[in-house]
Amino acid sequence: MIAIQGGCLYGECRYETDAEPINVRACHCHRCQKATGAPFYARVAVPLDRVTYSGPVGWYHSSPALRRGFCMRCGTTLFSERAAANVMGLTMGSLDDLGLFKPESHIWLSSKQPWVALADDDVPHYRENPPA
């Protein structure tokens, strides 16, 4: 069991879990790009009910099934939450240990920024969602 910990830029919002990741993905969809202000959303998915967090976390729904959490003081994007599936995505850029994970797949490459070049490695790439 590993400890996954992270937080916002100024340290006012913190999170932790000892859950094993469900998956680790980089999503290139336009909605994730807009929500994070980045070319893709790299996240570690863990069981929602195994994450604890503290601080001034704000929430908004980016779609009916997904809400996103951020620090209300500095604006750091921290989470994506699918409550119906008991899944929380932890942003990889907010992890304390940045070398702990790497994406297991890249999804929604149909919306990838044209200048983003992906490594030619063994990480699967999907035009949209991966097969169920």
Kind plus residue range of the DSSP H or E element containing 42:
strand 41-47
Predicted local distance difference test score (pLDDT) of residue 1: 67
pLDDT at 84 over 70: yes
Burial of 111 (0-12, 13-18, 19+ CB in 10 A): middle
Predicted local distance difference test score (pLDDT) of residue 100: 95
- The full set of domain ranges for the chain reads 4-111
| Neighbour order of strands in the sheet with 14-17 | 4-7, 14-17, 52-54
Predicted local distance difference test score (pLDDT) of residue 132: 76
pLDDT at 34 over 70: yes
* pTM above threshold 0.85: yes
Q: How confident is the model over 44-71, as a mean pLDDT?
A: 96
**Class level of CATH domain 4-111:** mainly beta
**Which tens digits make up the pLDDT trace of 3-20?**
999 999 999 999 999 999
